[in-house]
Amino acid sequence: MPNGSDPWESRGARHIRDFGIFKATEVDREGPHGKTGRFVVLDAPDWGIVVPVLERDGARYFLAVRQFRHGSGKVSLEFPGGVVEPGEDPARAASRELREETGYIAGSLSFLGDLSPNPAILTNRFRVYLAEDLRLEGEQSLDEHEIVDVQELPEEDFLDLLGAPGCDHALMLAAAFLYLRDRERRRAGAAGCGNPPSAV
């Protein structure tokens, strides 16, 4: 008996239209139940997101960007990021977006995760990086229609805002989850070094 884990077989595809930021394609696929259906998928470029962390006087801050989003029609507080250009390394794209949107460059860039933004319709990937040892290199270098405000927010304050109006971009929440998972793994690794703590 077929189940949801069984793959579907491709039976053809037709290009519908190129919208620039994505291409719409109609695909024919036959399921494990023996039936064939037509489905629309969106071929979009991969995205690179960077979680920039500043350390100052023992405290950690996120470097965030605030900008108007045309889909929601509202201003959104986010991590820097954008499109991975054809042939571009995703880590280089994340570093480029950090520099363009904030003016900062990272002395250290660590890979946090590779996710599917919406596997129901999107074919692209969403790659997240942690940027540390930040240094201000110069002014922003924005596209014609980009208006981006840069903000430094204490780590916990930013995390507390996630999910609230104006800070509800689902991909940013996913990036924050990957960051928190990495932070806990680092703490666990540090705790495992040397002699175990004594019982209180």
Which residues make Cβ contacts (< 8 Å) with residue 36, sequence separation at least 6?
11, 28, 29, 30
CATH architecture of 47-173: Alpha-Beta Complex (3.90)
List active site positions.
144
**Structural domain boundaries in the chain:** 9-43, 47-173
CA dist., res. 98 & res. 111, Å (int): 15
The 8-class DSSP code of residue 199 comes to P
Averages of pLDDT over each 10 residues, the chain, 200 residues: 84 94 95 94 96 94 95 95 94 95 95 96 97 93 87 95 94 96 90 54
Adjacent-strand bridge partners of 54 = 61
The answer to whether residues 29 and 108 touch, using CB atoms and an 8 Å cutoff, is no
